[in-house]
Amino acid sequence: MTRPAATFGRQALRLLALLALCALALQAVFALRIGLMALADPQSTSFQRSEAWRLLVERGQVPWRQQWVDADRISPHLKRAVIASEDAGFVEHSGVEWDAIEQAWERNQRAEQLAERTSQRQGRTVAARVVGGSTISQQLAKNLLLSGERTVLRKGQELVLTLMIEALLDKQRILEIYLNSVEWGEGVFGAQAAARHYFGTDAARLGPLQAARLAVMLPAPKRFEKRPDSPYVLGRAATIAARMGDVELP
């Protein structure tokens, strides 16, 4: 090997080592932040901060409703409804359900192919309807610490953070943080704000059908907020309410 080539090789190795060290340091920071959540309630999430900035830019103000309430002040009906709707295996799995991810990937591939054919036929761009296979722990990892972009790198980081969350927090704490930080409408975050906004009551006093209706909204809260009493929401809520009795709470 010539001297310039050898020098380039050493520089490349140093760069790779530096990148690896930075990646490890980032993971250590993430692990520390998650570990602290076992003791202290998070003040905000990455998703909430991005939403606050969007609302400030678009409206010049930030209409915001959120109030942290401890787990014992959240109705068990809401806990059961959210688990039944979003992640039936929450108590048993270790954070990731690989079968669900594979099924979601296959459905998204078919949706993208259909959207491409439809776009060609209609002469205009038709977006594919993407579905997710995320558990509650994965959704929490994404909302707490990551941006909303969809890339392979971000998805990989989400999986690492999910495993950290499952290792450092128990299931009760994971569910408590999730229910206090998840979006339930434009500027509406957490179970207490949602209960007050939609039903004029506290999160602790939500009944089974009220809880089921809130659970239905989680995949697309901004869309369902416009018609919270739509036939779809009410019908889907009845289905979730029927499943709630079989849900095991952590």
Domain assignment of residue 11, yes or no: no
pLDDT of residue 105: 52
Position 239 confidence tier, pLDDT thresholds 50, 70, 90 = very high
- Asked whether residue 109 carries a pLDDT value surpassing 80, the answer given is no
Task: CATH number of the domain at 209, please.
Answer: 1.10.3810.10
- From the CB of residue 203, how many other CB atoms can be counted at a distance below 10 Å? 23
In the block, which residue shows the tokens 């906004």?
197
Supply the mean pLDDT for the chain.
Answer: 84
- From the CB of residue 23, how many other CB atoms can be counted at a distance below 10 Å? 11
Domain assignment of residue 194, yes or no: yes
Closest CA to 176 of 167, 165, 187: 165
Q: What is the mean pLDDT of residues 188-193?
A: 96
Lowest mean pLDDT among 9-13, 159-163, 238-242: 9-13
Domain that holds residue 245: 66-93+171-250
pLDDT tens digits, 203-228: 999 999 999 999 999 989 999 998 88
- Asked whether residue 107 carries a pLDDT value surpassing 80, the answer given is no
Domain assignment of residue 223, yes or no: yes
Rounded CA separation 139/184 (Å): 14
Percentage of the chain modeled with pLDDT above 70: 81
pTM of the complete model beyond 0.85: no
Query: What three-state secondary structure class fits 49?
Result: helix
pLDDT of residue 90: 93
Domain assignment of residue 176, yes or no: yes
More confident residue, 208 or 24: 208
The helix (H) or strand (E) run that includes residue 106 is: helix 98-122
